[in-house]
Amino acid sequence: MRSLRFVFIAITAAVVCSPFAAAEPVRLMCEGKLMNEQGDGTQNYTLLLAIDLGAGKVEVGSLGTALIVSKPDADVLVFKVRPGTVGAESTGAINRFTGGATMVLRVAGLERSFDGDCRTAQRLF
């Protein structure tokens, strides 16, 4: 009985103290090139991401939220728009070691691709 109680306490502690349990989202600043769907024009572009591993989602600037579909320990974090999303849509991948990022952003029916590099974003004040 006593060992069963210890096992329950150990499992509860592992879940509550998980590194993802109450962690703040990781904020990234991604800089790169944004290309329109025809591929005939590019522009420099900066995109802010908030990655919440505990909730399994990525907030892509002001474009909305996408679900993380890769395994939690994968080298490349992959996210995909929620099925049935109306309006802005975002799908992409970020390499956790190099910071290399590729994304497809759809806003008002216009599709653009982003290719760049991400790094941890720090608040200025």
Between these two residues, 17 and 62, which has the higher pLDDT value?
62
Quick check: 3 pLDDT over 60?
no
**If you write DSSP's letter for every residue of 73-116 in order, what string do you get?**
T-SEEEEEEPTT--S-EEEEEEETTT-EEEEEEEETTEEEEEEE
Q: Which residues contact 25 (CB under 8 A, 6 or more apart)?
A: 50, 51, 52, 59
Q: How confident is the model at residue 64 (pLDDT cuts 50, 70, 90)?
A: confident
Q: How confident is the model at residue 63 (pLDDT cuts 50, 70, 90)?
A: confident
In the prediction, which pLDDT does 93 show?
97
Among candidates 113, 107, 77, which has minimal Cα distance to 89? 107
Structural domains of the chain sorted by starting position, each given as residue range(s) with its CATH number in brackets = 24-120 (2.40.128)
Quick check: 13 pLDDT over 90?
no
pLDDT in tens, 66-75: 999 999 889 9
Spatial contact of 21 and 15, defined as CB atoms under 8 Å apart: yes
Alpha carbon distance 48, 61 (integer Å):
5
Between these two residues, 90 and 85, which has the higher pLDDT value?
90
**If you write DSSP's letter for every residue of 47-59 in order, what string do you get?**
EEEEEETTTTEEE
